Amino acid sequence: MSMKSLIRFDWAAKRILRDKANFEVLEGFLSVLLGQRILIKEILESEGNQDQSDSKFNRVDIMARDESDELIIVEIQLSRQVHFLERMLFGVGKALTENLRLGDGYSKVKKVYSIGILYFDFGSGSDYVYHGQTRLLGLHTGDEFVLTERDREGLDMRPVKDIFPEYYVIRVSEFDRNAVTPLEEWMEYLKTGKVREDTEVPGLREAKKKLDWLNMGEDERRAYDSYLLNLMNERECLETARLEGKEEGMAEGRALGKQEGMAEGRALGKEEGMAEGILLGAEQANLLTAQRMKAAGIDSETISSITGLPVERIRTL
């Protein structure tokens, strides 16, 4: 099956998909995930919408309309932080308060969907998408609290399910199957950065053109390559520091005592791991960039001038 390599979704959501001309990609993703037609009205201002490369602040807040033409707020967090659950909760509260104008009644509170896309291993569970919503259950009877018809019609109140936020946690690394459904095709792209050439999945059809590396401007390409390099460095530094810290800590711990040894081991591991991780990360990132450029049909000499890799090395990729 023919596949097309695209730029990463976390980068695109932060830098490219905020453009109104590219809303179709995010609309397709949200429609597939939420199971209803979603139309984006605007991208709201948030910390993640600022022009910064720090992956820890990849957050996009969206004002949209659902298939019932109700206004909703969608908050997407492309999280790399351990405390991402707390960030999701904080983000929901922030989105609600920031978009309720002074003087508005509580009936104006918008429905919020919070979507956390995890690009790192965290927690446990056999599924790759988890969904939850607040439900009010009887402490003694177990029955669910709902509004009566009088409450809904006479007081013009929304059902409970249309008021409380809904949360989605997407564990990218847990997806390990052949993509059959539209959601699975989206998961395939989130994990591999690749889309089927013949896909008809909403959002992915448009992504083939809008998220093609070759369609990016030169400055945008450089910024994207730098982003990939930063990600590689981050992963390498963390892993190296963890391994070196453990090794040094155990050695010193046996000689000087467990407490002192672990403390020094962590310090040495971090210092040495950062240095080694940066070197290894840079080389691997350059190789990854060269592979993507070569797959896109760019000649070896041009790739060499951008990545610094020898032409002979590029030809073996």
Residue 137 is encoded by which pair of tokens?
A: 């259950």
> Residues in the chain with pLDDT < 50?
48-57, 277-280
- SS3 of residue 64 by DSSP: strand
Residue 37 is encoded by which pair of tokens?
A: 């037609």
Contact 219, 236 (CB under 8 A): no
User: What is the value of pTM for the model shown?
Assistant: 0.70
CA dist 291 → 61, 211, 218, 223, 271 (Å):
33, 17, 18, 17, 30
From CA 242, how far away is CA 250, in angstroms rounded? 12
From CA 253, how far away is CA 263, in angstroms rounded? 9
From CA 25, how far away is CA 240, in angstroms rounded? 36
Residue 5 is encoded by which pair of tokens?
A: 């390599």
Contact 130, 117 (CB under 8 A): no
Q: Are strands 111-118 and 166-171 parallel, antiparallel or unpaired?
A: parallel
What is the structure's pLDDT at 55?
Answer: 40
What is the structure's pLDDT at 268?
Answer: 60
- SS3 of residue 307 by DSSP: helix
Angular region, 302: left φ>0, alpha ψ -120 to 50, beta rest = alpha
Residues paired with 115 in a beta bridge: 76, 168
CA dist 222 → 59, 140, 155 (Å):
22, 60, 56
Alpha helices by DSSP H, listed for 72-177, are 84-98, 149
Q: What's at 104, amino acid-wise? A: D
Q: How far is CA 194 from the centre of its chain?
A: 16
Q: At what angle do helices 258-295 and 218-256 cross, to 10 degrees?
A: 160
The pLDDT tens digits for 39-80 are 999 998 655 444 444 444 467 889 999 998 888 999 888 866
The continuous run of DSSP H or E covering 58 comes out as none
